[in-house]
């Protein structure tokens, strides 16, 4: 992998997406486990989701900073604006879906509530193919 300052090193993002994929896989195979084990697995899914989501938006921002004019970056003050610009640049498909992922990520600090944790874990599973697609789009552009 090229480590020049003009390219993105996707190693951390690849590792995060792979970790989320493993966590989701384990969670789908957890039927029959005791409640405590299921809770730990769910917590792992949520943690992997939160970490992968954070890396995704940061990589979007970095890619845009590296591949557009400074004027474009200066107008991106919110994640919603970042997701809209990322969709415009074909880094992601649907910014509105990413708005939902952002809302779920914001709820991860409240996962002590069982219903909230279950909802966030479900969103995390929905997020996986979007993160994989984003990573693939970045890889194609390097």
Task: Note the pLDDT of residue 111.
Answer: 64
Domains and CATH numbers, the chain: 11-141 (1.20.120.330)
pTM of the model as a whole: 0.91
pLDDT tens-place string over residues 63-117: 999 999 877 877 778 999 999 999 999 999 999 999 999 999 999 877 678 888 9
Half-sphere exposure of 36 (CA within 13 A, CB side): 0
Q: Which is it for the CA torsion 7, 79, 83, 68, positive or negative?
A: negative
Most confident region among 3-7, 9-13, 29-33 by mean pLDDT: 9-13
Task: Note the pLDDT of residue 74.
Answer: 75
Residue 126, pLDDT above cutoff 90? yes
Q: What percent of the chain has pLDDT over 90?
A: 79
pLDDT tens-place string over residues 40-55: 999 999 999 999 999 9
Residue 137, pLDDT above cutoff 60? yes
b/e code 1-11 from CB counts within 10 Å (16+ = b): eeeeeeebebe
The phi-psi region of residue 7 (left if phi > 0; otherwise alpha if psi is between -120 and 50; otherwise beta) is beta
């Amino acid at each position: 992998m090229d480590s020049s300052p003009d390219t993105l090193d996707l190693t951390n993002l690849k590792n995060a997406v792979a970790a989320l994929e493993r966590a989701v896989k384990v969670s789908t195979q957890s039927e029959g486990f005791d409640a405590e084990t299921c809770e730990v697995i769910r917590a792992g899914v949520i943690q992997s989701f939160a970490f992968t989501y954070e890396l995704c938006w940061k990589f979007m921002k970095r890619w845009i900073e590296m591949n557009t004019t400074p004027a474009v970056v200066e107008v991106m003050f919110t994640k919603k604006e970042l997701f809209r610009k990322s969709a415009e640049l074909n880094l992601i498909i649907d910014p509105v879906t990413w708005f939902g992922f952002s809302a779920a990520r914001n709820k991860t600090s409240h996962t002590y509530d069982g219903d909230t944790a279950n909802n966030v874990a479900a969103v995390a599973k929905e997020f996986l193919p979007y993160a994989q697609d984003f990573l693939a789009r970045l890889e194609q552009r390097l």
